[in-house]
Amino acid sequence: MRYSRIAVKLFEREGEDVFYDPAYHGRTLKVFGMEAFPDKALGYLAGEYHKKGYSRIIFDTKGSFDGVGFDTVLKIRDTQPSGLDPVKMAEKGYFDFYTAATIVQTIYGLDRALTETLYSDILAGKVESVPEALKAGQKYSEVIAESYTAIDQLLYSGEVPELGQNILVDFGDAHSITLVGNAFLILAAAVEKRKKVMVGLNDAAVLTYTTAGGAGLPLLTKPALKRATVIASEYAPDSLLNISGPVLLLYHDPDVQSMIYEANGVPPGPMRRHVLKGQGAFIYRTPETINVELGELHI
């Protein structure tokens, strides 16, 4: 078959190359495997897309990327300012003010009426940051205060970072899963509309564990032209399995492999190939068929 110019080789099968083509297979590739296998696959795919002239945006919870080749490296930690205040980021043009208000809504559980009030106050210039919203003396301030912590304060403190074309967001030293989810949502909204970009999430299950993190996932996995998203994970929760798109299944426990085959509609029998170390199974669907290609990885 013919592939588009953004197709990337995965492995060889019986002397023929097997490619992942976002234009044909789906714009989000899910990579599942044990320990460091997904990390290596994501690193390989990021490198291949970089060769094709695509910028790279990597969200990394494991510290697997060293920052080489990235314009912007953001190290998100529990104990240092990050400058990721959604209201200030809206002022910088990363997204609109209503998006900023809905981010605050998602993080702190505001209802629609309080969100509209907050949005109005932002437009009126009464609120220019999340800490100001906390101190505004409004009903939304009370709701925000119920879960606002010193870690939140650090997340919003500092200068808003300049986001270059190639971005590495390093969560490797962050211990608060709430911080990870909040930062991921804010940054996902900031880069959602970028084109000619490859987005990588590692470990996607960790990034999306919280409500805020889960809200950031569809921003980067909904089909979009000139964007390829790779979500890599050691885990296989329903939140990831239910995302549309092909799967690259790497070495994992047999029961996990079986669960992934089941979730992708692969019928029991010879199509459910047991993936060994050094191998990969590429599972993809068309409107008519389910396909499984097994081969030796060169990653």
Q: Is the pLDDT of residue 279 over 70?
A: yes
| For residues 45-49, average pLDDT | 97
Decide if 25 contacts 245 (C-beta within 8 A).
yes
The two three-digit tokens of residue 125, written as one number = 């210039």
Judge whether residue 273 has pLDDT over 70. Answer: yes
Residue type, 205: A
What is 200-236 written as a DSSP string? EEETHHHHTSSHHHHHHHHHHHS--TTEEEEEEES--
Please say if the pLDDT value at position 12 is more than 90: no
Residues 58 and 38: their CA atoms lie apart, in Å, by 13
Q: For the chain, give every domain's residue range.
A: 8-77+164-297, 86-156
Q: Quick one: residue 79, left, alpha or beta (phi over 0 = left, psi -120 to 50 = alpha)?
A: alpha
Cβ-in-10-Å burial (0-12, 13-18, 19+) of 106 comes to buried
pLDDT at 2: 64
pLDDT at position 43 is 96
For the domain with range 8-77+164-297, which CATH number is right: 2.40.40.20, 1.10.443.10, 3.10.20.30, 3.40.50.300? 3.40.50.300
> Three-class SS of residue 187?
helix
Q: Which tens digits make up the pLDDT trace of 68-78? A: 999 999 999 99
The answer to whether the CB of 94 falls within 8 A of the CB of 103 is: no
- Whether the predicted pLDDT of 183 surpasses 80: yes
State how far the Cα of 127 lies from the Cα of 111, in Å rounded to an integer.
18
pLDDT tens sequence across 68-104? 999 999 999 999 999 999 999 999 999 999 999 999 9
Task: Tell the residue number behind the tokens 């789906």, with chain if given.
Answer: 26
User: How far does the chain reach from its first CA to its final CA, in angstroms?
Assistant: 23
pTM to 2 decimal places = 0.95
Distance separating alpha carbons of residues 120 and 11, to the nearest angstrom? 53
* Portion of the chain with pLDDT greater than 70, in percent: 99
